[in-house]
Amino acid sequence: MTQRPETPLLDTVKSPEDMRKLSVDQLAQLAAEVRADLIDAVSRVGGHLGAGLGVVELTVALHHVFNTPTDRLIWDVGHQCYPHKIVTGRRDGLRTVRQPGGISGFTLRSESEYDPFGAGHSSTSISAGLGMKVACDLAGDDRHVICVIGDGAMSAGMAYEAMNNAGAMDAKLIVILNDNDMSIAPAVGAMSAYLSKVLSSKPWLSARQLAKEMAARFPGPINRAAKRAEEYARGMMTGGTLFEEMGFYYVGPIDGHKMDHLVPVLKNVRDSDPQGPVLIHCITQKGRGYAPAEAAADKYHGVSKFDVVTGTQAKAKPNAPSYTSVFANALVAEAREDDKVVAITAAMPGGTGLDKFGKEFPERTFDVGIAEQHAVTFAAGLASEGYKPFAAIYSTFLQRGYDQVVHDVAIQNLPVRFAIDRAGFVGADGATHQGSFDLCYMCCLPNMTFLCPADEAELMHAVATAVSHDSGPFAFRYPRGEGVGTQLPEKGEVLEIGKGRILREGSTVAILSLGTRLTAAQKAAEDLAAKGLSCTVADARFAKPIDTELVKRLAADHEVLITVEEGARGGFGAHVLHFLAEEGLLDAGLKVRTMCFPDRFIEHEKPDTQIAMARLTPEDIVATALKALGRGEEGAARA
């Protein structure tokens, strides 16, 4: 492991207050040291790198110009917040980021007063910032609120809803568009930097206000014409007409890596009193300052430990293919035989495996951006015309499109296929990214079919079953990471809807597992057998419809029935318990226990530790069975 870089100026910065005494030249040096420290820290533990590298100068400039934490600085999503953490007293903590007991990889209110709003999902900063600014105004407080949002996050409708509201309210909200993909503006240079300084300056704003007041004295048509002329003149010089139309005063584009561009503009905006919100268009480069990141296709967005000199990441050799890759390969195989199969992702082609699908079927692959609501209804439109759309969306992100799942898919009974990745615990990304709730929010919907494969082979069967299911919406969920190493079939087979399977026959305890807890259930059955207890293990396969005949059989033939799932309360176990109660199957004394996530959020940890914290290990299943049977202290030791 390399030594930490020398950072003499950064070593003197204990809080942003120390940065406000520095000159522009010193700020540039500080930014270089922050960048070096960021690279060193992430190389040791892994985490998000590329986005943070792109906003180093912007971070330093913001904390230099604004009086944080009194002024509120909100980072959208939070992938780019590592430099912010370095200069707000968490420099050493960054070497524990996303590790057990370490700091969060995102902004977190409970972690620091410099994190006024937590974020793990994108496109929320402007809405939150507007709420904060209105609260400040109501309280008579003149603090600034600054929202930093990326151009990718601007693809989400929520950002525009917030901008529309902010423009209509004339709140002095400062929004910084961190444009790191060159998707909106051309390259910036000296002229645009000069214009940005002029247009954000107090003399220009004062003159503009005077012109507005004078124009207001003229009849309506002349007033409106003068206003349009001024806006379009600035639009021709600098761009930004879209934002102007939404009520924002547009400044930019400016070079987000030059302190002598950033600092004057930020100070001008801070000290001016414009009528309404301001948008500063800042051009940055993701991965800036680290050659391997600049050269990588994903700009080293998320990395494991790596060698700083070569950029080589230390990744463990997989023992089995990942569930995501199994899904992707299975979908490609199905699409080769069925030209109605199409795939949709919401800005996560690599994360969902649809980059593989896109290479073979580019015309049948659709990346809609960070817009899950649109993705779902777009899929519904495809389904209504006879296509077979697979919307591959992380469980945590599908929550953002839930209204569309209900109204545009379920009510119309359209056969949209939801491939729900990252179901269950996800490890280092923590509570904001856990796939905890999909079983609850999907299984309550009429017309929905929900299959939960227990291993990689079952996932292939799930894809094949989804392709063949044209009678309504179909969902299947699978976790992050490697499979269990089961033998993969040549091709997935179509499963009978609503039918589970029994893998082990017994007579005292029945374990009804849903999804990838099956291996744990089988291990628990072996341990129970060693204690003299005969145990049945069943794989429910379907969370909806429930295999009612299987449940009846398990209820009739056993003393204890335990359901096990990797999801929140109110999911599969609740539906099984509801069925048992309705059918009167509890009346004869059957003991039922439902094992699921606890009613709390579990932050970043290793997945195995998260499972243990949720008490879903084989030992926990054994303890639950023993306690239900009245085996006293044996069960209480773990339950």
Q: What's the order of all strands across the beta sheet hosting 72-75? A: 72-75, 145-150, 174-179, 278-283, 249-255
Annotated catalytic residue, options 133, 234, 286, 480:
286
Annotated catalytic residue, options 72, 90, 400, 422:
400
Q: Which helix (H) or strand (E) holds 136?
A: helix 125-138
- Is 400 tagged catalytic? yes
Question: What would the DSSP string read from start to end of 159-208?
Answer: HHHHHHHHHHHT---EEEEEE-S-SSS----HHHHHHHHHHTSHHHHHHH
Query: CB under 8 Å to 110, separation ≥6 — which residues?
Result: none
* Cβ–Cβ under 8 Å, residues 348 and 394: yes
Q: How many CA atoms lie within 13 A of 14 on its CB side?
A: 0
Cα(627)–Cα(400) distance, integer angstroms: 39
Query: Looking at 232-387, which runs of residues are DSSP E strands?
Result: 249-255, 278-283, 302-303, 341-345, 365-367
Question: What would the DSSP string read from start to end of 462-524?
Answer: HHHHHHH--SS-EEEE--SSB---PPPPSS--PPPTT--EEEE--SSEEEEE-GGGHHHHHHH
Q: Identity (one letter) of the amino acid at 87?
A: V
Q: No. of H helices and E strands in the chain?
A: 27, 19
Q: Among all chains, which residue has been given the structure tokens 């904390």?
A: 63
Query: CB under 8 Å to 15, separation ≥6 — which residues?
Result: 87, 88, 89
Q: How far is residue 195 from each of residues 208, 230, 354, 562, measured CA to CA in Å?
A: 15, 15, 42, 68
* Cβ–Cβ under 8 Å, residues 599 and 569: yes
* Cβ–Cβ under 8 Å, residues 145 and 74: yes
Cα(213)–Cα(306) distance, integer angstroms: 59
Q: How far is residue 633 from each of residues 504, 532, 629, measured CA to CA in Å?
A: 27, 17, 11
- Is 286 tagged catalytic? yes
Query: CB under 8 Å to 17, separation ≥6 — which residues?
Result: none
Annotated catalytic residue, options 334, 372, 566, 605:
372
Radius of gyration of the chain (CA): 28
CB-based burial label for 486 (10 Å; 0-12, 13-18, 19+): middle
* Cβ–Cβ under 8 Å, residues 366 and 409: no
* Cβ–Cβ under 8 Å, residues 390 and 420: no
Q: Residue 615 region, left (φ>0) first, then alpha (ψ -120 to 50), else beta? A: left
Nearest of 561, 543, 548, 458 to residue 506 by alpha carbon: 561
Output the 3-class SS for 82-105.
HHHHHCCCCCHHHHHCCCCCCCCC
Q: Which residues are catalytic?
A: 286, 372, 400
